[in-house]
Structure 1
Amino acid sequence: MTKLRPFSDHERGLFISVDGPSGAGKSTLVRHLAQLLVAEGQDIHLTAEPSAGPIGALARELTETVTGHALACLYAADRYHHMETEIRPHLGAGKTVISDRYLPSGLVMQRFDGIDPAFLWSLNAEADRPDLCVILEADPEVIGRRLIERGAHNRFQLTPGSSHAETYFYRQATDRLIQAGFDVLRVDCSQRPPERVAAGIRDRLMSFFATPATETPA
């Protein structure tokens, strides 16, 4: 029998990133996952990229007008600032940090501007590795319909065939992360409801949290 073990104040917390194509349901999934982990006694901090910090705000403001290497560098700057000012402090306090987008997205989005994947990899090479990178996968036709229904959130999603291109870019980025030794969990969310997907990720995290439970004497 096992139970989920909350971290003490003297232990580093877990860092989990959730990435995937636009329309795959990242934000909804992150909320469900956080609720499940809180129910298991974990202290959770939710965050996202672009971050809520000053560089993240600038990145959101300039996404529609700045392109290529300049935007890639701006997003990377936000990632490093986010890491130093928010992610690391919460991990140091023993919290489990869940980020809606992180390094994997940094290897994908500027591909729409024709940036070399090798440049994006080197630009993000010093970012902290998550304990688990969750990569959502979905049928590009399914997520394309979702984007049409909800409307595009940025210029990348207005690119013809964006769902197919982003899905392809994520497959390449995921392979690169695995080759580099990242712990990656691929999750197909085309048809499964987000609460079921979140439960599957929660089960995967049991290997990080689980400790033998004390047997109750008969």
Structure 2
Amino acid sequence: MIEMLSAIWAQQHWPGRLIALEGFDGAGKSTQIEFLKQRLMGLGHDVVLTRQPSDWYRQSELVRSFLDNGGTPETVRALALFAAADRIRHCSEVIAPALARGATVISDRYVFSSVAFFWDRGLDPEFILAINAGIPRPDCAIYLDIEAHLVRERLRARDGDNLKHEENSIDTINRVMNNFKKLAPELHVVPAQAEREEVSRQVWRRVEPAISPERRVKAAS
């Protein structure tokens, strides 16, 4: 685990809950987020679904060009700063207000993705964490772990030959996945190659204690 990780979180405690799901595209995040949303709503939670990065980042021509073709170290650094600005803005405008009113927020990706990807792109992970300082700490953060070759098979089935340049390399996918796993125990690693119902049960095992009223009382004390 990166020792600096615990130092980036905001000190404020909100009445709501924040759950983050991480994983390479094709790992099954969308399916598990939907399962989780339905289960939480069934328990009476006000559920807010969101994702990072936001469209402000995703729609940038610089971002799209890098994802398609790669870029220089200077471009990587600029994108890391852009991603951090996008995350801080998103947390301020979307996540923190939802937490303040007591909602349960499920985020498709969070700061862990920036660390895993930009670390592989050549940046110091402590720099990545430093520029993301002050964001809410998730009550539960989960990484869906799946073998790299299965990820690429799923992506090819979905996108054909229109893969992003990082998705074309099994070695790159493996390195990024290993970076995610280095963020444990802050990030719970859940094997995601089983049937989706079993994966859902494993996800819920991590989420349920994190959202319990007893834990919220202890966190606020």
- Normalized against structure 2, the TM-score is what? 0.76
Query: What is the aligned-residue RMSD (CA, Å)?
Result: 2.3
Contact 1:107 1:121 in 2 (8 A): yes
1:210–1:118 CA distance, 2 compared to 1 (3 A):
closer
Contact 1:64 1:155 in 2 (8 A): no
Corresponding residue of 1:56 = 57
Contact 1:109 1:156 in 2 (8 A): no
| Per-residue CA distance 1:69-105 (angstroms, 9 max, x = gap) | 0001111111000100000011111110000000100
Residue 85 (structure 2) aligned to one of 52, 69, 77: 77
- State the one-letter code of the partner of 1:186: V
Shift of 1:58: 4.4
Q: Does 1:171 align with 2:181?
A: yes
Residue 23 (structure 1) aligned to one of 26, 29, 35: 26
Shift of 1:26: 1.2
1:133–1:210 CA distance, 2 compared to 1 (3 A):
closer
- State the one-letter code of the partner of 1:41: G
Q: Does 1:103 align with 2:111?
A: yes
Secondary structure at the residue paired with 1:63? helix
Corresponding residue of 1:4 = none
Q: Does 1:185 align with 2:188?
A: yes
Corresponding residue of 2:69 = none
Unaligned segments of structure 2, at least 5 residues? 1-13, 67-74, 215-221
Secondary structure at the residue paired with 2:202? helix
- State the one-letter code of the partner of 2:171: G
After TM superposition, the structure 1 = structure 2 runs for residues 130-169 of structure 1, keeping only pairs within 5 Å, are: 130-151=138-159, 154-159=164-169, 161-169=171-179
1:169–1:46 CA distance, 2 compared to 1 (3 A):
same
Counterpart-to-counterpart distance in 2, 1:91 and 1:35: 19
| Per-residue CA distance 1:166-189 (angstroms, 9 max, x = gap) | 2122122x14xx3xxx3x321000
After TM superposition, the structure 1 = structure 2 runs for residues 196-207 of structure 1, keeping only pairs within 5 Å, are: 196-207=198-209
Counterpart-to-counterpart distance in 2, 1:131 and 1:73: 25
Shift of 1:30: 0.9
Residues paired across the two proteins, number: 191
Counterpart-to-counterpart distance in 1, 2:172 and 2:163: 12
1:210–1:117 CA distance, 2 compared to 1 (3 A):
closer
Contact 1:106 1:124 in 2 (8 A): no
- State the one-letter code of the partner of 2:168: L
Unaligned segments of structure 1, at least 5 residues? 1-10, 213-218
- State the one-letter code of the partner of 2:144: L
Farther off after superposition, 26-35 or 148-157: 148-157
Shift of 1:122: 1.8
Secondary structure at the residue paired with 1:12? coil
Higher alpha-carbon Rg: 1
Farther off after superposition, 156-165 or 134-143: 156-165
Farther off after superposition, 36-45 or 98-107: 36-45
Counterpart-to-counterpart distance in 1, 2:141 and 2:211: 16
- State the one-letter code of the partner of 1:133: A
1:138–1:58 CA distance, 2 compared to 1 (3 A):
same
Secondary structure at the residue paired with 1:129? coil
